[in-house]
Amino acid sequence: MKNVPKPTVPKPTVPKPTFLQLTVTVVEDLHTGAGTGSGDIDACVQRDRHGQPVIRSSHFKGLLREASDELFDLLSGAERTKLDEARVALLGAQGSNRGKLRLTSLYNTKGGKTMVWGATGRALGKRQPEGETLRFVEHVQAGTSFTGRLRVPDSALRDLLERLLKRIDRIGGNRNRGAGLAKLEWNTCSPRNEVPSHQHRSKTHGR
């Protein structure tokens, strides 16, 4: 009896992850709150272990979540369901898994300068400063750039990630009150060498 060759079972195709290099350029002075003060400064910016200002990955991931919530509210029906499944896969569900997106913090490598602004609180409808409300807050100077890396497992989630990146135009504290305007740019890069290929830019103003 002749040996009958076994049918060849094709191996499943494993999608290749995409690596992006993200650059955030501050258009307005930026406060990345550390939650602490120092000396006469009531609120300092976050810094890395080298003492340079930094945008933490947890903060940026929170911005992506906010962008996904805004996009979710704009959709309906099947589109909304599809987006909900994709954003959970990308970012994880609140309070459970962390999602498939991997990202570093955004670091400043060119010695970003900071400045301190003093401000007072004002009663609603009045221009006169309230007593005992003077605070000094440290800000990163406009024009400073931060760079980090993102990893997405497949092209479908990359498409969603880029949609969310295009919706982010403000970074840091007080952004809901019109502060922290920023410009985002991202490039495809290799896992090891951050050599840009196709460059994308988000709009500085508007969404």
pLDDT in tens, 49-69: 888 888 999 999 999 999 999
In the beta sheet, which residues pair with residue 103?
150
Mean pLDDT of the 13-30 span: 88
pTM for the whole thing? 0.77
- Answer whether 172's CB lies under 8 Å from 54's CB: no
Taking CA atoms, 170 is separated from 32, 99, 190, in Å, by: 11, 23, 27
Looking at residue 202, what is its pLDDT? 59
Share of the chain above pLDDT 70, in %: 70
Mean pLDDT of the 6-32 span: 83
CATH number for the region 18-112+140-201 comes to: 3.30.70
d(CA 137, CA 124): 22
Which tops the pLDDT comparison, 94 or 59? 59
Query: What digits encode the pLDDT tens for the residues 179-193?
Result: 789 999 999 988 865
The winner for highest mean pLDDT among 4-18, 92-106, 191-205 is: 92-106
- Answer whether 67's CB lies under 8 Å from 86's CB: no
The two beta strands, 18-26 and 182-189, are antiparallel
**Closest Cα partner for 25 from 164, 151, 169?**
169
